[in-house]
Amino acid sequence: MGDLLVFIKVVCLIVTIMIVWFKSSAFVEYAKLFGLRNLLLNYNDGSEGLTFPQHLYIKSKLVLKCSICKFLVALITCPLCIAFWLCIIASCVFTHWTLIPVLYLTVLITYFLIERVIG
């Protein structure tokens, strides 16, 4: 029973991180609050006509020559990729690595169901 509870908490944590990153402007608001405007790459959250999320803006604004940088940007802008790597990290820290496939599928199903409900 304790392992199941840990598993559910990990799924909720990863899905929450993904919802905050992909479906809210929390990153933008905290960057503005703490004076980290250079992280925003001149992003405005709709006040001047830009209405797409900050992760797509980051992907469109960065011209990267470094393959590692391209990988990291692709990682943070793709829900499937970020879910996979968060599941690997969470499995190694909180659960057992053999649960990565089950955790990954559970996170994706939960995230996309919530995304559909949110709209």
Domain count of the fold of the chain: 1
How many angstroms separate the CA atoms of 15 and 11, rounded? 6
Per-residue model confidence (pLDDT) at position 86: 94
Q: Is residue 6 a contact partner of residue 101, using CB atoms and an 8 Å limit?
A: no
Tokens of 12: 């909720």
What pLDDT shows up at residue 61?
A: 56
Print the domain residue range for 93: 2-118
* pLDDT per 10-residue tile (average), the chain, 119 residues: 87 94 77 64 49 54 62 81 93 86 96 91
| pLDDT confidence of residue 118 | 87
Residue 43: how many CA atoms within 13 Å on its side-chain side? 25
